[in-house]
Amino acid sequence: MEGLRSRLVLLALVPVVALAAAEEGFVSLFDGETLNGWLLVHGKKSGRGYIVENGAIVCPADGGGNLLTVREYANFILRFEFRMEPGGNNGVGIRAPLAGDIAYSGMEIQIIDDDHPKYKDWLKPVQRHGAIYDVVPAKPGYLKPAGEWNEEEIVADGRRIQVRLNGHLILDANLDEITDPAVLKRHPGLARASGHIGFLGHGTRVEFRNIRIKELP
């Protein structure tokens, strides 16, 4: 009986050990209470920008602007959870400068409620959730309904950009394969090797929590 009990304890520890290994090297970008380490750029003249609520960074319906890390990052794995209200629209800026429209001066990984009636009939593939906005489309079909928490991972490793949504690889892009002169002209940010990371709000409520990063060589 004692041997069986020991084996059961070991089996129970397996997922805990696996989770710890998967999170090794990650550091939190958000303390759960304040916006220390973040700065608001291009916030609305009225409204609240971003707030902290129940352990999450929230872009409220009357908020928005770009909430960016004070630090810059080059190669990394970024993990976070997000939840949208119906019709939610936001984005994750990566390798972003502090100036300009980050979807073009940096890169924006789209966060949007794809199937909401106000979007679904006109969104292009390069505007749907997980896309490098206006550049590379993502695979649809893995976004949870509005009101539920999603898990997302963004990998920026040299010229390779990957996005995983709820455990599914939805985007795997080699930026060197983007050769359309018109796209490259519109998106000078594709050439950037480093920059800020942040959330790009559009005046709809979107929440972010468990935001952590692992820098890569």
Domains (range + CATH), the chain:
26-215 (2.60.120.560)
**What mean pLDDT is predicted for residues 63-79?**
97
15 or 35, which is more confident: 35
Name which residue leads in pLDDT, 19 or 200: 200
pLDDT of residue 51: 96
Q: Which residues pair with 214 in a beta bridge?
A: 77
pLDDT above 90 for 162: yes
The pLDDT-based confidence of 141 (bands split at 50, 70, 90) is very high
Kindly report the backbone phi and psi dihedral angles of residue 156, in degrees, each rounded to the nearest multiple of 5, phi listed first: -120, 110
Q: SS3 for 132?
A: strand
Please state the rounded mean pLDDT for residues 92-110.
98
Mean pLDDT of the chain: 93
Q: Rounded distance, CA 2 to CA 176, Å? A: 59
What pLDDT does 120 receive? 84
Q: Assess whether pLDDT exceeds 90 at residue 21.
A: no
Q: Is the pLDDT of residue 194 over 50?
A: yes
Q: Is the pLDDT of residue 144 over 50?
A: yes
Cβ atoms of 129 and 141 within 8 Å: the answer is no
Rounded to the nearest 5 percent, the helix, strand and coil shares of the chain are: 20, 40, 45
- pLDDT band at residue 55 under the 50/70/90 scheme: very high
**φ, ψ for residue 99 (rounded to 5)?**
-115, 160
Residue 12 has a pLDDT of 55
CA-CA distance, 81 to 72, in Å (whole number)? 21
Residue 19 has pLDDT above 90, yes or no: no
Going by pLDDT thresholds of 50, 70 and 90, the confidence category of residue 16 is: very low
Please list, in sequence order, all residues whose beta carbon lies within 8 angstroms of the beta carbon of residue 105, skipping any fewer than 6 positions away.
96, 97, 99, 188, 189
- The token pair at 40 is 């608001």
3 state DSSP class of 20: helix
- pLDDT confidence tier of residue 42, bands split at 50, 70 and 90: confident
